[in-house]
Amino acid sequence: MNIQKLIYKNSYDGKGMNTIPIQLKILDNNENRMYLIHKALKQQLKNNRKRNAHSKTRSEVRGGGKKPWKQKGTGRARAGSNRSPLWRGGGVIFGPKNKQYKSKINKKEKRLAINTALANKFANTVVIKEILPNITIPSTKIAIAEIKKYGIQIEENKKYLIIVHQKTKMLHLSLRNIRNIELIEAHSINILCLLKTDIIIMTKDALKLIK
């Protein structure tokens, strides 16, 4: 395991660019890094998968409380419920059920994968002091102007990830209309959002939490 010292570009007030050193633990072997990222991505995608198809068994179908006819003497086959799988409108014997898919990955492996993904994106990461701290009404226009203040131009063909220490309602409402910008909190950072983004905008407090 190698500790690589990364230099993040930093712009606190939009006037000058400084640098912030941050240490992240990543694997030495590039092949092992890709394997770990792939493993973490598979685990996240599998845990997000759900099977919504659901059929009712005879105990879940409504009705069927009364015995259709008496047990003997009618000449017909005995029947205890009109919700039997043999009857029309009855339950299903081996139908599909709701299912939550689960996959496990070790905590250290997951952290290493996230560190590696961050290390791969550090050249396109900008650390800022804060974003829209005093906004009182949601405004997409003000949010875009705030991002441009740090020398970042919003392009339609690129995806942006904004990582904050704590997500506020006004910040969420201001950025939700921009479809190529994703806003997450630092403790919710995951491998999928890091892989699909082109530029990362991170606040100073979020960086402290990640470190």
- Assess whether 133 and 204 both reside in one domain: yes
pLDDT of residue 147: 84
- Assess whether 153 and 69 both reside in one domain: no
Instruction: Say if residues 46 and 162 touch (Cβ distance below 8 Å).
Output: no
| H-state helical runs in the chain | 30-48, 107-121, 140-148, 169-175, 191-195, 204-210
**In the listed set 37, 66, 100, which residue is the last one of a domain according to the structure?**
100
| 8-28 pLDDT per residue, tens | 545 444 455 566 667 777 777
- For residue 112, what are its two tokens? 């290493």
Of 16-30, 39-53, 140-154, the poorest mean pLDDT is in: 16-30
pLDDT of residue 71: 94
| Domains in the chain, number | 2
**In the listed set 100, 131, 163, which residue is the last one of a domain according to the structure?**
100
| Residues contacting residue 146 through CB under 8 Å, at least 6 positions apart | 131, 132
**Does residue 101 surpass a pLDDT of 70?**
yes
* Dist. CA 167–CA 163, nearest whole Å: 9
Average pLDDT of 111-130? 85
- Assess whether 143 and 168 both reside in one domain: yes
- Assess whether 80 and 109 both reside in one domain: no
| 30-46 pLDDT per residue, tens | 788 889 999 999 999 99
Average pLDDT of 70-77? 94
Q: Which residues pair with 10 in a beta bridge?
A: 18, 127
Q: Residue 62 sits in which domain range?
A: 50-100
**In the listed set 41, 71, 100, which residue is the last one of a domain according to the structure?**
100
Instruction: Say if residues 5 and 21 touch (Cβ distance below 8 Å).
Output: yes
